[in-house]
Chains A and B, each alone.
Chain A
Amino acid sequence: MLSFSLRRLFYSVLVIFGVVTVVFFIMNLLPDPARMMQGQRADLATQAAIRHQLGLDLPPLQRYLRFIGDVAQGDLGRSWSSNRPVLGSIMERFGATATLAIGAMTIATILGIGIGILSAVKSYTIFDNGTMLFALVGISVPAFVMGLLAMLLFGSVLDWFPVSGYMYQGDELHLEYLILPMCVLALRPISIIARVTRSSMLETLASDYVRTAKAKGVTWKSVVYRHALRNALNPVVTTVSAWLAGLLVGTYFIEYIFNWPGIGLQAVDAITRSDFPIIQGTVIFSAVIFVTVNFFVDILYSRMDPRVKLG
C-alpha cells in the first residue's frame, strides 16, 4: 500500500513536470513579452532592460532550468498588469472558485446519483426516457449559453435572483448571489453523473450475483442499495472526482458571466489584457490541483475496491 502510494506520488510529480515543460514551450511561442509589456513604441534600451530583468536574454536551456527551479519553489512570477506575485493573487481568489465548485458538485452528486438509480430501476419507462433526454440536453448546452439563459430567465424576466455579482459585499454575506451560478454550474455534472450511474447500475442489476440475491429472497430495496449500488459506484466515483477536479480549476465562463471573482474570471481578464504570467500561473496551479485530486482518488480507489490492482 505504501509503496503503491509512493509510486503514484512519483508519477504525479512526473506529470506536473511535464505540464511545466509544455507551458514553458507554449509561452516561448507567444509574442515577445518585452514588446507586449511596453507597447509598440517602447525604445530598444527599455526592451533590452526588461528582457534582462525577466532573464529572456539567457540561452533557452538555462531559461528552462531557471523556470523549473522557480516553479518548484512556488515562484510563478509577477503579473504584468498589477506587478503582484502570481501565486498570491491565485490563492486569494481560489476560495471563491472552490466555494462555487464544491457547492455545485454537492448538488450534482446527490441529484445525479439519485436520478441515475431511479432511471436504472425504472429503466425504459417514461421517467427513464424523459430524464435521460433531459440529461442529454444538459450535456449539449455549453456553460456560457446555460449561464446566459439562466440569467435571462431568472434574473431579468422573473427577477428572482440578482443578475451577477459576488456573495460577499464588504463583510456582508449575500447567499442569493451564490444560487444561480452554482445551479447552472451543477447542470452538466448532474446530467453526466446521472447517465454514468444509470448505465453502471443497469449493468450490475443484470449480473449473476444480483439474480442470486433476488433468488434467495432478499428484498428488492436491499438488492438495489446493498448489492447493486455498491458495485456500481466505481465509475461514478471516477466521474464525480474528475468533475470536482475540473470545476476546481476552472469555471471560466460561469465566473465571467456572473462576475464571480474566482481564478477563472481572473484568467479570462488576464487573457483580454495579455497578462501572460497570470495565464501561465493558472495553468500550472490548475494542473497541480487536478493531479492532486486524482492522486487521492487513486488511493481511495485501491482502498475501496479490492479488484483494483496495486500495480
Chain B
Amino acid sequence: MNPINQGSDVPHRLGKDEIDRRRHENESVLKQTPRSLWYYSWRRMKRNKLAMLGLGITFALILIAAGASFLAPFDPNSQVLEYSTEPSGFHGNILISKSEANPNQTIPIPIAECRVQGNRVIYTTSEGRDKSIALSRLAGNSEKDWHKTPTYYLGTDRYGRDVLSRLMYGARISLTVAFFAELCSLFIGVLIGSIAGFYRGVTDDVFMWFTNVVWSIPSLLLIIAISIALGLGMWQTIFAIGITEWVDMARIVRGQFFTLRETEYVEATKALGLSNKRTIFRHILPNSLGPIIVIATAGFANAIIYEASLSFLGLGVQPPTSTWGQMIHDGYGFIAAGSNWGLTLYPALAIMIAVFAFNLFGDGLRDAFDPKLKR
C-alpha cells in the first residue's frame, strides 16, 4: 500500500503525532531504491507457476541440446541394422569389435550369447549361428569394455539407431535454428518497424507497403522457395525463416514508436538536439522492450514449428543429422501399417513440449510486462 496518495481518505484535521508519523512514512518510501521494470516484471512472473514451469522446461531443453554429446546414451548415427524398429525399453546384447581397416573405429556385433574360450570369444548371432572372434579384435581389455547390454529406452528406428539419442541431438538443431532465425527476424523487424514508426509519412508508407507484400505471401512457400534458391542446409534454413518472419515484429515496433514519439521525454531529446539515431536506439527502443520480447518469444516458438515443418518435407537440415521433423517423416509411414507408432509419437511429443513450454513462458512474460493484467 502506497501511503502517499491516500486522497480523500485523509481526515480534515490531523494531530501533530499523526502528521509526523505520515511524514516519516512518506520519506521512508521515497528513500527506497527505485527498482527497474525488470525487477517488478520478474517478481510478477515468479508468482505465475505455469510460466515458471515453461521456463524450467526451456532450460532443461537447452541443457539437453548443449550436452547432447555427454547425455545421449548412443551415437545418434551409429546403425545396428539387426536392431531395426525395436520397441521401447529393448535390451541390446552387443560385442564391440575393432574395424580391420581402421582400429580406432568400432563395429557393433549384435549377439544372443557369448563366452570366452582361451584367447577367442565364442558367440551366437541373433540368427542363431555360432561364430568366434579373437580377443585382440575386440575393443578394450576387459569383458566390460567389449560386451555391452545397453537399453534402448525409446526403441530404435528403421536403421537400428537409438531414438532417444536422436531426439536429444534433434533438440540441438531445433533450438539453434529457432534462436538464430529469431535473431535475424528480430533485427529486420525492429529496424523496419522503428524507421517506419519514427519517420512516418512517405517512409512509413513505403515500408508498410513492403511489410504488407511479405505478409500476403504464404510464409511456408516463401521459406521453401528461399531455402531451395540458397541450397538446403542449416544456415539456409535459418536465413529463410528469419527473412520471412519479421512482419509481426515490424508492426508492433512501429505501433510502439507511434505512441512513444508523442511522449514528453522524446520531445525533450529534440529540445536537447540529440540525433535521430540516438533518440531511436537510446530512448525509444529501450522503452518498447516489453512488447518486443513478447513478440520475439512467440516468434521463437513459431520458428521451431517452421523448422520442424521444413525438415518434415525433407527441405530443412539434411540427413544424417537428426531433426525432429525428419524423424516424424521417417516414422509416419508406419502409422498406416498400425505398428511402431513410437517413431511418430516421440518426436511429435518433443516438438509439442518444446513449443508449449516456450509459449507458456511467453504468455507469462506478456502478463508480467502488462500491469493492467495483474491478477
Interfacial chain A residues near B210, Cβ < 8 Å: 18
Interfacial chain B residues near A252, Cβ < 8 Å: 220
Interfacial chain B residues near A11, Cβ < 8 Å: 209
Interfacial chain B residues near A111, Cβ < 8 Å: none
Q: In the complex the two chains form, what is the Cα distance from A287 to B358 in whole Å?
A: 30
CB within 8 Å of B: which A124-166 residues:
124, 133, 136-137, 139-145, 148-149, 151-152, 155-156, 163
A215 to chain B minimum Cβ distance, whole angstroms, is 21
Do residues A142 and B351 form an inter-chain contact, with CB atoms below 8 A?
yes
Does any Cβ of B come within 8 Å of A249's Cβ? yes
Which of the candidate stretches B26-34, B120-128, B306-314 sits at the interface with the other chain? B306-314
Residue of B nearest to A155 (CB): B335
With A18-B213, A124-B375, A283-B218 already in contact, the answer to whether A145 and B336 are too (CB < 8 A) is no
Interfacial chain B residues near A272, Cβ < 8 Å: 313-314
Interfacial chain B residues near A26, Cβ < 8 Å: 222, 225-226, 229
Does any Cβ of A come within 8 Å of B224's Cβ? yes
Chain A binding surface SS class: helix
Residue of B nearest to A136 (CB): B359
* Chain A 266-293 per-residue mask, 1 if CB under 8 angstroms from chain B, else 0: 0110011010000100110011001100
Q: In the complex the two chains form, what is the Cα distance from A214 to B71 in whole Å?
A: 60
Residue of A nearest to B305 (CB): A142
Q: Which of B213, B301, B338 has the most CB of A within 10 A?
A: B213
Do residues B309 and A144 form an inter-chain contact, with CB atoms below 8 A?
yes
Do residues A19 and B355 form an inter-chain contact, with CB atoms below 8 A?
no
Do residues A14 and B341 form an inter-chain contact, with CB atoms below 8 A?
no
Interfacial chain B residues near A250, Cβ < 8 Å: 218, 220-221
Residue of B315, B345, B360 near A271 (CB, 8 A) is B315
Do residues A151 and B213 form an inter-chain contact, with CB atoms below 8 A?
no
Residue of B221, B328, B363 near A148 (CB, 8 A) is B328
Residue of B222, B309, B359 near A142 (CB, 8 A) is B309
Interfacial chain B residues near A143, Cβ < 8 Å: 309
Do residues A249 and B355 form an inter-chain contact, with CB atoms below 8 A?
no
Residue of A29, A279, A287 near B216 (CB, 8 A) is A287
Do residues A30 and B225 form an inter-chain contact, with CB atoms below 8 A?
yes
Interface size grouping (class) on chain B = 35 or more
Does any Cβ of B come within 8 Å of A253's Cβ? yes
Interfacial chain B residues near A19, Cβ < 8 Å: 213, 216-217
Interfacial chain B residues near A14, Cβ < 8 Å: 209
Do residues A163 and B221 form an inter-chain contact, with CB atoms below 8 A?
no
Do residues A15 and B225 form an inter-chain contact, with CB atoms below 8 A?
no
Does any Cβ of B come within 8 Å of A22's Cβ? yes
B313 to chain A minimum Cβ distance, whole angstroms, is 7
Q: In the complex the two chains form, what is the Cα distance from A249 to B225 in whole Å?
A: 16
* Chain A 2-46 per-residue mask, 1 if CB under 8 angstroms from chain B, else 0: 000000000100111011001100110110000000000000000
With A152-B345, A156-B336, A283-B225 already in contact, the answer to whether A144 and B220 are too (CB < 8 A) is no
Do residues B335 and A156 form an inter-chain contact, with CB atoms below 8 A?
yes
A174 to chain B minimum Cβ distance, whole angstroms, is 18
Do residues B224 and A271 form an inter-chain contact, with CB atoms below 8 A?
yes
B176 to chain A minimum Cβ distance, whole angstroms, is 18
With A140-B359, A253-B309, A271-B313 already in contact, the answer to whether A152 and B341 are too (CB < 8 A) is yes
* Chain B 187-223 per-residue mask, 1 if CB under 8 angstroms from chain A, else 0: 0000000000000000000000110111011101110
Do residues A149 and B338 form an inter-chain contact, with CB atoms below 8 A?
no
Residue of A137, A152, A274, A286 near B356 (CB, 8 A) is A137
A205 to chain B minimum Cβ distance, whole angstroms, is 13
Q: In the complex the two chains form, what is the Cα distance from A144 to B359 in whole Å?
A: 18
Q: In the complex the two chains form, what is the Cα distance from A249 to B213 in whole Å?
A: 15
Q: In the complex the two chains form, what is the Cα distance from A143 to B335 in whole Å?
A: 17
| Interchain residue pairs A-B with the least CB separation, the first 9 | A18-B213, A140-B356, A29-B229, A140-B355, A287-B216, A142-B305, A145-B348, A250-B218, A286-B218
17 extra interchain contacts, Cβ-Cβ under 8 A, other than A22-B214, A140-B355, A286-B217? Answer: A18-B212, A23-B217, A30-B225, A136-B359, A137-B356, A139-B359, A141-B351, A142-B355, A145-B351, A148-B344, A149-B345, A152-B335, A250-B220, A252-B220, A257-B332, A290-B218, A291-B216
* Sample (17) of A-B pairs whose CB atoms are under 8 Å apart: A16-B216, A18-B209, A19-B217, A27-B225, A30-B228, A136-B363, A137-B352, A140-B356, A142-B355, A145-B351, A145-B352, A250-B218, A252-B220, A257-B332, A272-B313, A279-B221, A283-B221
Binding site for B on A (CB under 8 A): 11, 14-16, 18-19, 22-23, 26-27, 29-30, 124, 133, 136-137, 139-145, 148-149, 151-152, 155-156, 163, 249-250, 252-253, 257, 267-268, 271-272, 274, 279, 282-283, 286-287, 290-291
